[in-house]
Amino acid sequence: EAGVTQFPSHSVIEKGQTVTLRCDPISGHDNLYWYRRVMGKEIKFLLHFVKESKQDESGMPNNRFLAERTGGTYSTLKVQPAELEDSGVYFCASSPLRGTMGNTEAFFGQGTRLTVV
């Protein structure tokens, strides 16, 4: 079974440009999460999809970030326009949907390292 895959693995862009990150979750996983790790800091939550719906976007830094998950399959995270402080590693994770059974393992992708210069 394929794991969570993310594209691209690395991206270097200039300040003011646009970048789109993609995440393909494990097939059948309705939960999809975006996280970001700035160097030396915690892995910080950005956004949670359940199928195609945004369940929680409280972690999105500002309106320069736009996430979509059309059809409830893969997701994209667009940063427009990118700023220097957006640099970091963006992780995507997915997990099966659980009701009241409690959290289960979240499977992570390898991340996209974004560098804004």
Binding region for another protein (CB under 8 A): 3-4, 31, 33, 35, 40-45, 48, 50, 55-56, 59, 91, 95, 97-103, 105-111
Give 7 or 107: the residue with its C-beta nearer to another protein: 107
Q: Which two tokens stand for residue 55?
A: 């369940």
CB of 115 to another protein, least distance (A): 16
Q: Which of 3, 12, 1, 2 is nearest to 112 (CA)?
A: 12
- Identify which of residues 19 and 112 has a Cβ nearer to another protein in the complex: 112
Rounded CA separation 81/64 (Å): 6
Q: Would you say 81 or 106 has its CB closer to another protein? A: 106
Which lies closer to another protein via its Cβ, residue 66 or residue 97?
97
Shortest Å, Cβ 116 to another protein: 21
Residues 6 or more apart whose Cβ sits within 8 Å of residue 55: 48, 49
To the nearest whole angstrom, how small is the minimum distance from the Cβ of residue 11 to another protein? 16
Rounded CA separation 43/40 (Å): 9
Q: How far apart are the C-alpha atoms of 100 and 30, rounded to whole Å?
A: 15
